[in-house]
Amino acid sequence: MLRAESVRDASGTLGTTILVDGGRIAAVGTDEAGNGPARDLGGVVVPGLRDAHFHPIGYAAALQRPSLKTAADFDEVCDRIREALRGRPEGSSLVALRLDDEHLAEGRLPDRNVVDRAAPDHPVLLIRSCGHIAVANSAALEAAGLDPSVPDPPGGSFDRDGAGRLTGVVRETAVDLVARPVDALTPALGAEQVATAMTAAASVGLTGMGAVVAAGSSMWGAGGSELDALLGAAGSIPIDLRVLVAAGDPDELRRAAERIAEAPGRVGFLGVKLFSDGSFGGHTAAMLEPYTDRPGERGTDRLDPEWALRMARTSLGLGGKVAVHAIGDAANRAVLDMMETLVAGGADPADLRVEHASVLTASDIERFGRIGVTASVQPAFLASEYGWVERRVGPERIRRTYAFRSLLEAGAPLAGGSDCPVEPPHPLAGMAAARDRCGVVPEEGLDAADALRLFTEWSARAIGVEGRLVPDAPATFTVLDGDPVDASADGLRSTRVLSVWVDGAPVEVPSGLQLWND
């Protein structure tokens, strides 16, 4: 028997003890729920925290590769590149992550000439914090075989100067054309590094995640196939991963599903991950009307409806879900159109997810609820975007940006995530941002109970697992040093995780484990 200060879910206090039998919950109640000695958990037990949208290989890479998030200007970007390359042989590559032009003194992305100053003889790729834009130096463009004659690929673009030369800034699908050859020159992440990253995720309270994994090479600098890296570590991962596969065609998706089904440990197939547009930060999210701070720009449409429907139907036929990235209101409209087609063809709306659902029209908020499609949202975006997001969308559209409460009131199922490594992996901080929204349109915030549901029951539902503390459910839960519903949003940000239990056993977390890298 396990005893706690309290055992609770979003509905209220369930008792003070949990009786576990064979890794499952036998009973939840008072001290009389079981006989014999009790182990004191020393805190408040809540259903296992889960992240519905997480890039596990990206997170592992972010703990190993240099971060540019806090670089103040181009000079500091170059200093960090030089330091990371110190002692490396000529010609070896470097991928650096989390470049953020919003925080650079120059207020813009560097170009190939800037990066060449720091690394004239090494292929270098700097990935913007959103993961949708990168900066390649001259050696990286050469390694990729790219010159000014290269056409923009469907769903992507190369920035060019006034003479038509490539600047090194690559957007959306064009990132892949540079990332693949550079990644091939990058040392691969080891199984131990991936497993350690997933243990670090447990240390912030996570018991499981919807794991977004590319079947092929990584844009995060993993040094090879993301799926290979994950499966190589599968037997040592201490939490539950349900994998959304980004695949190039139906056959690749089928092969990935088969490999995941054969994997040891806690890894399972969840479905397919597709893209319909880009990011706010890079002005590539597809908008119905131009960006307020860039009137000539409406973003990038990445959705090929015919191909996307073929991939979606393949995933559904494999027993999986369909998750489609959509940030702009134009992208969300197009994805909802596609999902209505799938539902009309017999798909269960519970198997359909829109990742991010960031900017919506009023009619599409209503449509989310009417169709029953899950909005997989990332409240942590507000913590990093609050200083500039209204500049992007303007005073009218900001009312329907990250519209958590309106979606909920329309009847749309919600699920919470971080999109880590785009944002830090901390679910309690995400829960807090869902409540106070970091001051951005606070009336769209969730109440404390629904914020807890967002990262427990609702995120569990979105990844196809049981997320309640009920008899016969897996004994998977998180122990906190305070009550997450009684705490204020700021109090929640400082709440500590005491332990994480998966299938009735505590996850052992070594002391001094690195959790984040800025």
Residue 149 CA, distance from chain mean position: 35
Q: How confident is the model over 405-414, as a mean pLDDT? A: 98
Residue 32 has pLDDT above 60, yes or no: no
Q: Which residues contact residue 87 at a Cβ distance below 8 angstroms, ignoring those fewer than 6 apart?
A: none
Q: Which residues contact residue 210 at a Cβ distance below 8 angstroms, ignoring those fewer than 6 apart?
A: 50, 51, 52, 53, 54, 242, 244, 270, 323, 376, 415, 417, 459, 462, 463
Rounded distance between C-alpha atoms, residue 131 and residue 327, angstroms: 13
CB 356 within 8 A of CB 402: no
Question: Could you report the per-residue pLDDT of 336-383, keeping only the tens digit for each?
Answer: 999 999 999 999 999 999 999 999 999 999 999 999 999 999 999 999
Class of domain 53-57+189-467: alpha beta
Angstrom CA distances, 104 to 110, 284, 363, 380, stand at 9, 19, 37, 21
Residue 35 has pLDDT above 70, yes or no: no
Better-scored residue on pLDDT, 12 or 221: 12
Q: What percent of the chain has pLDDT over 70?
A: 99
- Bridge partners, 12 (sequence order): 9
Q: How confident is the model over 114-141, as a mean pLDDT? A: 96
Amino acid at 95: V
The residue to which tokens 């090194």 are assigned: 168
Rounded distance between C-alpha atoms, residue 144 and residue 146, angstroms: 5
Nearest to 333 by CA among 313, 303, 294, 309: 303
State residue 201's pLDDT score.
98
CB atoms within 10 A of CB 11: 12
Residue 39 φ then ψ, to 5°: -95, 130
Query: Which pTM value belongs to this model?
Result: 0.96
Q: Which residues contact residue 63 at a Cβ distance below 8 angstroms, ignoring those fewer than 6 apart?
A: 193, 196, 197, 200, 514, 516, 517
Class of domain 65-184: alpha beta
Q: What percent of the chain has pLDDT over 90?
A: 93
Question: Could you report the per-residue pLDDT of 83-102, keeping only the tens digit for each?
Answer: 999 998 888 899 999 999 99
Residue 405 has pLDDT above 80, yes or no: yes
Question: Could you report the per-residue pLDDT of 159-197, keeping only the tens digit for each?
Answer: 999 999 999 999 999 999 999 999 888 889 999 999 999
Nearest to 339 by CA among 356, 357, 351: 351
Residue 494 has pLDDT above 80, yes or no: yes
Q: How confident is the model over 252-261, as a mean pLDDT? A: 98
Q: Is 79 left (phi over 0), alpha (psi -120 to 50) or beta?
A: alpha
Domains in the chain: boundaries:
53-57+189-467, 65-184
Angle at 455 between CA 449 and CA 460, to 5 degrees: 115
Residue 134 has pLDDT above 90, yes or no: yes
- Bridge partners, 492 (sequence order): none
Q: How confident is the model over 444-467, as a mean pLDDT? A: 98
Angstrom CA distances, 22 to 31, 281, 504, stand at 20, 47, 7
Concatenate the DSSP letters of all residues of 458-476 into one string. Answer: HHHHHTTS--S--TTSB--
The DSSP secondary-structure symbol of 349 reads: G
417 CB burial (10 A radius; 0-12, 13-18, 19+): buried
Residue 228 has pLDDT above 70, yes or no: yes
Residue 218 φ then ψ, to 5°: -105, 140
Tokens of 343: 């539902």
Rounded distance between C-alpha atoms, residue 29 and residue 60, angstroms: 39
Rounded distance between C-alpha atoms, residue 56 and residue 469, angstroms: 26
Confidence band for 221, pLDDT divided at 50, 70 and 90: confident
